[in-house]
Amino acid sequence: MIVKNPHRPHQPNALPLLNIAVVGHTNTGKTSLIRTMLRSTEFGVIEDAAGTTRHVEQATIAADNEPILNLYDTPGLEDSRALFAHIKKLQTKLKPLTPAQILEHFITHVSVNDPLEQEAKVIRQVLRSDILLYIIDVREPFLEKYRLELDILTQSAKPIIPVFNFIAEHNQELAKWRQHLAGYHMHATLEFDTVAFTFEAEKRLYQKIQTLVESHYTPLQKLIDFRAKLWNQLCLSGAKRVTELIVNVACYRETKSTQHNLIAHSLIEDRLHDFVRKAEQHCLNDLLSIFNFSDKDVAIQKIPVSNGHWQLDIFAPGILKAYGLDVGSAAAKGAAAGAGIDLMVGGMSLGAASALGAIAGAGWSTFKRYGDEIKATVKGTQWQCADEATVQILYLRQKHLLKKLMHRGHAAQDALHVDKADSEKLPDNWKKLTSTLRQNPAWQEPSVARNNNPQYQEIEAKLVGALLDEG
Ligand SMILES: Nc1nc2c(ncn2[C@@H]2O[C@H](COP(=O)(O)OP(=O)(O)OP(=O)(O)O)[C@@H](O)[C@H]2O)c(=O)[nH]1
Ligand SMILES: [Mg+2]
């Protein structure tokens, strides 16, 4: 939600935007935090190196097109010892000034090319902001340089929220940091892993700001509500998109020739594979765009997709095993999914035999529903559709991807591993659900009739619910 020209419509007595400075030692994840808050990989430059951000950069966050706050990314503090010594000297020299006035004096008198020029940029932004987010890499011990930084920042008399980053698997270090900060009367800390995103952490961040800057309570509440609504919509859109894929593939049918011709059979198999691959690829692209990750991110972040295709093909040998399916069965021993199944035998509860029986005594309603199948049986036509394993893998892999995207901060730089998803489970009554889909080829594409059909609605709700289930 970056707004290029963040001006509120002119209103007398309008509250100025809340200004938040993101500060901290170099390479602690300041730019990363802002990217994650903006849900955009476009902001700033992130690198695992000191001194990546060289200038103060601004981004505005809005709720429903109404700008609410400005975030300021700042260069990392590098030489806190020299800065502290310099400020100390100024304190002795300018005794009657308050600590904040001394910082003001420092920034107005620093010259270009001064060794502390970088630090001055940070302090200048600190003094112009309403609140500071102090980003901490908890993997580091509470070294003297951090103590000095905190001493300097508290002199600005601005409220400070320490934000713990790199918290994954660092509980002990986190506890130590908490203790040290309590010594500075800083208790309103926040855990916000910029890489492993949770909406809860984002909400808490705004709530902490709300309590520390009361004057902006109402616009911040508006922002919290807006972001929550947006987040729910985003997750729902993702789950609906995956559901659409499952329906699309499970309802798909290829007419099979009656001749037992090997070439014709393999052509059908190819068409089926082609259809499934394309459908999955389409869904993948849509999911990335729903969560604002682009093709470029796929490449940068090494999501196992190249040129829009999954690196581990859905029909690759061994895929069943990778997804924890049917281990021990012949299929898991290196065989592939994607053997199309004969619909009359495998896909329907109404098997060939009962279909034939139905011809003799079928009423109109049975004929209307199963007419095509019955006619096909008489003519000897059969259909082929994606087999159970294929639909299962599609579901498991997309569920895994959806979960990853929902918890992937926009600062994440590492590979997103979605080629193994054996931790995911199929929804209850999965077999019944896919069998119903197979028997309703007309549901393959969205239509008013389909979307209003209570049986379809039930399946859709079940799939969406299972996809969003965090358990
Ligand atoms: N694993 C992990 N890596 C992170 C996290 N936050 C940031 N990083 C990585 O840490 C490095 C530094 O991140 P930046 O956002 O550039 O840090 P910065 O504080 O803006 O750095 P400067 O601008 O140089 O001061 C990058 O390699 C990030 O990918 C996190 O929560 N977890
Ligand atoms: Mg930076």
Three-class SS of residue 171? Answer: helix
Quick one: pLDDT band at residue 238, thresholds 50, 70, 90?
very high
Name the least confident of 36-50, 113-127, 166-180, 208-222: 36-50
For strand 160-165 and strand 131-137, is the pairing parallel, antiparallel, or unpaired? Answer: parallel
Burial class (CB in 10 A: 0-12, 13-18, 19+), 177: buried
Name the least confident of 80-84, 179-183, 192-196: 192-196
- In the reported structure, the alpha carbon of residue 29 is separated from the centroid of ligand 1 by a whole-number distance in angstroms of 3
**What does the pLDDT read at residue 198?**
80
Residues in CB range of 91: below 8 A, 6 or more apart: 99, 102
* Ligand 1, atom nearest to 411 Cα: 29
Three-class SS of residue 83? Answer: helix
**DSSP-assigned beta bridge partners for residue 71:** 20, 59
Best CA proximity match to 83, nearest among 51, 115, 47, 46: 115
Spell out which residues line ligand 1, taking CB within 6 angstroms. 26-32, 46-48, 50-53, 75-76, 165-166, 193-195, 411, 413
- Cα separation values, 416 from 56, 114, 121, 302, 311, Å: 30, 42, 36, 6, 12
Site to substitute for ligand 1 among 23, 28, 32, most atoms within 8 A of C-beta: 32
Average pLDDT over residues 136-143: 93
Q: Taking the domain 18-212, which CATH number applies?
A: 3.40.50.300
Numbered ranges of CATH 3.40.50.300 in the chain: 18-212
**DSSP-assigned beta bridge partners for residue 255:** 383
- In the reported structure, the alpha carbon of residue 306 is separated from the centroid of ligand 1 by a whole-number distance in angstroms of 26
Tokens (6 digits) for 28 = 């602690």
**DSSP-assigned beta bridge partners for residue 305:** 310
Quick one: pLDDT band at residue 286, thresholds 50, 70, 90?
very high
Residue 153 to residue 186: CA distance in whole angstroms: 12
Residue 343 to residue 254: CA distance in whole angstroms: 10
Predicted confidence (pLDDT) at residue 336 exceeds the cutoff of 50? no
- In the reported structure, the alpha carbon of residue 177 is separated from the centroid of ligand 2 by a whole-number distance in angstroms of 22
Residue 311 to residue 404: CA distance in whole angstroms: 17
**What does the pLDDT read at residue 454?**
96
Q: How many CB atoms lie within 10 A of CB 145?
A: 17
Higher pLDDT, 424 or 451: 451
Residues in CB range of 393: below 8 A, 6 or more apart: 314, 319, 320, 323, 325, 337
**What does the pLDDT read at residue 411?**
54
Predicted confidence (pLDDT) at residue 415 exceeds the cutoff of 50? no
Residue 8 to residue 10: CA distance in whole angstroms: 6
| Mean pLDDT, all residues of the chain | 80
